[in-house]
Amino acid sequence: MAAGEGDDSATTGSTLGYALLSLLTRGPATGYQLTQQVKAPLGHFWTARHSQIYPELARLSAAGWVDSVEQAGPGPRAKKTYAVTPSGLAALRAWLVIPPTAQPRSEITLKAYAATSADPAAMAALYTDLAERSTRLLAEFAQDAERMRAAGQDDPGHPRFGNYAVLMMGIESQRAVHRWACWLAACLRTGRPAAYGEPAGD
């Protein structure tokens, strides 16, 4: 430990840092490009704004987990293209196999918890809308999945297999949301216990 620079294996990263490293394993990118790439398919399960991404890239760079090269940018500042370093990849690999503990947060489920306090018709409309939204998303995701399978991305050996895996989770989640929202809307509309799995006029 001579100068406190370079690959210090004692450094700990944030989840956002590992998310950015994951994105950079697809290839070098600028902060701006990462901001776009985090939108899909990762955005269904993880989001970050540019205001969070730029400082985090600086931290990753200070930790020696990414390298950057500067080019003349369009604006007043230089454009920086980042790439993962070997120590960054090692850190990512170590983080990946740690079982996650974070609990999910779902505002729509929280609202269901208090469903009986609100107007039943308005709440039923909320969950009917949600069911429609999930139908749209499922159609969209199914198309994406078809395209990925055609490109061989459903093979675990493909470098972008992770994109396919995340999309599959999106499909499973939206199927779950759709079934639940249909059931809940039916309950609230009729005012009586509804059976599960019946689309009921959707």
Partner DNA sequence: GAATCCATGTAAAGTGTTACATGATTGG
Partner DNA sequence: CCAATCATGTAACACTTTACATGGATTC
Task: Tell me which residues in 37-96 interact with a second copy (CB under 8 A).
Answer: 42-47, 89, 92-93, 96
Contacts of 192 (CB under 8 A, 6+ apart): none
47 binds DNA (CB under 7 A): yes
Torsion on CA atoms 141, 30, 60, 49, rounded to nearest 10: -50
Interaction residues for a second copy, span 115-134 (CB under 8 A): 115-120, 122-123, 125-126, 129-130
Residue 125 beta carbon to a second copy: minimum distance, rounded to whole angstroms: 8
User: Are the beta carbons of 111 and 126 closer than 8 angstroms?
Assistant: yes
Which of 25, 52, 87, 173 forms a contact with DNA (CB under 7 A)? Answer: 52
Q: Closest by alpha carbon to 42, among 141, 166, 132, 178? A: 166
Q: How far apart are CA 29 and CA 59, in angstroms?
A: 16
Residue 103 beta carbon to DNA: minimum distance, rounded to whole angstroms: 7
Interaction residues for a second copy, span 141-160 (CB under 8 A): 154-159
Nearer to a second copy, 70 or 109 (CB): 109
Residue 10's binding partner, choosing from a second copy, DNA, none, with beta-carbon cut-off 5 to 8 A by kind?
none
Other CB atoms within a 10 A radius of the CB of residue 161 amount to 15
Binding mask 75-114 for DNA (x = CB under 7 A): xxxxxxx---------------------x-x---------
User: Are the beta carbons of 78 and 31 closer than 8 angstroms?
Assistant: no
Query: How far apart, in Å, are the Cα atoms of 87 and each of 46, 64, 92, 94, 199?
Result: 24, 7, 9, 11, 51
Nearer to a second copy, 42 or 63 (CB): 42
Nearer to DNA, 66 or 187 (CB): 66
Which residues make up the interface to DNA (CB under 7 A)? 14-16, 30-33, 35-36, 47-52, 54-55, 57-58, 73-81, 103, 105
